[in-house]
Amino acid sequence: MSEDDYTMKRELSDVIQQLEGDKLEKVISIIMDGISGITDNGEIEIEIDALPPAVLQRLYNFVLRPIKAVNKPVNYDKVPKRAGSGNTGRAGAAATGDVKRKSMDEDED
Protein backbone atom coordinates (compact mmCIF):
# COMPACT_ATOMS: atom_id res chain seq x y z
CA MET A 1 0.00 0.00 0.00
CA SER A 2 1.41 3.40 -0.95
CA GLU A 3 1.84 6.26 1.50
CA ASP A 4 -0.93 8.19 -0.29
CA ASP A 5 -3.37 5.27 0.10
CA TYR A 6 -2.52 4.94 3.77
CA THR A 7 -2.97 8.69 4.33
CA MET A 8 -6.29 8.75 2.49
CA LYS A 9 -7.63 5.77 4.46
CA ARG A 10 -6.49 7.27 7.76
CA GLU A 11 -8.13 10.63 6.95
CA LEU A 12 -11.34 8.91 5.84
CA SER A 13 -11.46 6.84 9.00
CA ASP A 14 -10.86 9.86 11.24
CA VAL A 15 -13.52 12.01 9.58
CA ILE A 16 -16.13 9.24 9.24
CA GLN A 17 -15.90 8.49 12.97
CA GLN A 18 -16.96 12.08 13.68
CA LEU A 19 -19.91 12.21 11.27
CA GLU A 20 -23.51 12.35 12.44
CA GLY A 21 -26.98 12.50 10.96
CA ASP A 22 -27.52 12.70 7.21
CA LYS A 23 -23.82 12.62 6.37
CA LEU A 24 -23.30 9.42 8.34
CA GLU A 25 -26.38 7.89 6.69
CA LYS A 26 -24.94 8.74 3.26
CA VAL A 27 -21.59 7.13 4.16
CA ILE A 28 -23.41 3.98 5.28
CA SER A 29 -25.38 3.99 2.04
CA ILE A 30 -22.19 4.31 -0.04
CA ILE A 31 -20.62 1.38 1.81
CA MET A 32 -23.75 -0.79 1.58
CA ASP A 33 -24.10 -0.05 -2.16
CA GLY A 34 -20.47 -1.03 -2.75
CA ILE A 35 -20.37 -4.25 -0.74
CA SER A 36 -22.96 -6.94 -1.28
CA GLY A 37 -24.32 -8.91 1.64
CA ILE A 38 -24.23 -6.12 4.22
CA THR A 39 -27.47 -5.42 6.04
CA ASP A 40 -28.14 -2.52 8.36
CA ASN A 41 -28.77 -4.05 11.77
CA GLY A 42 -28.02 -0.91 13.73
CA GLU A 43 -24.23 -1.08 13.85
CA ILE A 44 -21.73 -1.71 11.10
CA GLU A 45 -18.05 -2.28 11.71
CA ILE A 46 -15.87 -2.66 8.64
CA GLU A 47 -12.13 -2.44 8.29
CA ILE A 48 -11.32 0.36 5.88
CA ASP A 49 -8.68 -1.86 4.24
CA ALA A 50 -11.48 -4.28 3.26
CA LEU A 51 -13.33 -1.68 1.19
CA PRO A 52 -12.99 -1.92 -2.60
CA PRO A 53 -11.17 0.95 -4.34
CA ALA A 54 -14.40 2.17 -5.96
CA VAL A 55 -16.07 2.53 -2.54
CA LEU A 56 -13.02 4.30 -1.14
CA GLN A 57 -13.12 6.75 -4.04
CA ARG A 58 -16.82 7.47 -3.52
CA LEU A 59 -16.24 7.98 0.20
CA TYR A 60 -13.29 10.26 -0.50
CA ASN A 61 -15.38 12.33 -2.93
CA PHE A 62 -18.22 12.66 -0.44
CA VAL A 63 -16.29 13.07 2.82
CA LEU A 64 -12.85 14.53 2.16
CA ARG A 65 -13.01 16.40 -1.14
CA PRO A 66 -15.37 19.12 0.19
CA ILE A 67 -13.17 19.59 3.27
CA LYS A 68 -10.00 19.85 1.21
CA ALA A 69 -11.64 22.29 -1.21
CA VAL A 70 -12.52 24.64 1.67
CA ASN A 71 -9.03 24.42 3.19
CA LYS A 72 -7.15 24.72 -0.11
CA PRO A 73 -5.14 27.93 -0.38
CA VAL A 74 -5.96 30.10 -3.37
CA ASN A 75 -3.19 30.70 -5.91
CA TYR A 76 -4.03 34.24 -6.98
CA ASP A 77 -1.66 34.00 -9.95
CA LYS A 78 -4.03 31.47 -11.55
CA VAL A 79 -7.29 33.27 -10.73
CA PRO A 80 -8.54 34.99 -13.89
CA LYS A 81 -9.23 38.68 -13.59
CA ARG A 82 -12.83 39.67 -14.12
CA ALA A 83 -13.64 41.77 -17.13
CA GLY A 84 -14.45 45.34 -16.18
CA SER A 85 -12.93 45.04 -12.74
CA GLY A 86 -10.65 47.98 -13.44
CA ASN A 87 -7.67 46.00 -12.22
CA THR A 88 -5.30 46.67 -15.08
CA GLY A 89 -2.18 46.80 -12.98
CA ARG A 90 -1.73 50.52 -13.67
CA ALA A 91 -1.52 53.03 -10.84
CA GLY A 92 -3.02 56.46 -10.36
CA ALA A 93 -5.43 58.09 -12.77
CA ALA A 94 -4.60 55.54 -15.46
CA ALA A 95 -6.05 52.76 -13.30
CA THR A 96 -9.39 54.58 -13.09
CA GLY A 97 -9.72 55.20 -16.83
CA ASP A 98 -7.89 58.54 -16.59
CA VAL A 99 -10.64 59.88 -14.31
CA LYS A 100 -9.15 61.58 -11.29
CA ARG A 101 -10.84 60.63 -8.06
CA LYS A 102 -10.76 62.54 -4.85
CA SER A 103 -10.90 61.22 -1.31
CA MET A 104 -14.24 61.39 0.46
CA ASP A 105 -12.47 63.19 3.31
CA GLU A 106 -11.38 66.13 1.16
CA ASP A 107 -13.47 69.29 1.20
CA GLU A 108 -15.09 70.31 -2.03
CA ASP A 109 -13.35 73.16 -3.85
Sign of the dihedral defined by the CA atoms of residues 56, 57, 62, 66, in that order: positive
> What's the confidence (pLDDT) of residue 3?
79
Neighbours of 26 (CB within 10 A): 15
pLDDT along the chain (109 residues), means of 10: 83 91 91 80 80 92 84 67 55 56 58
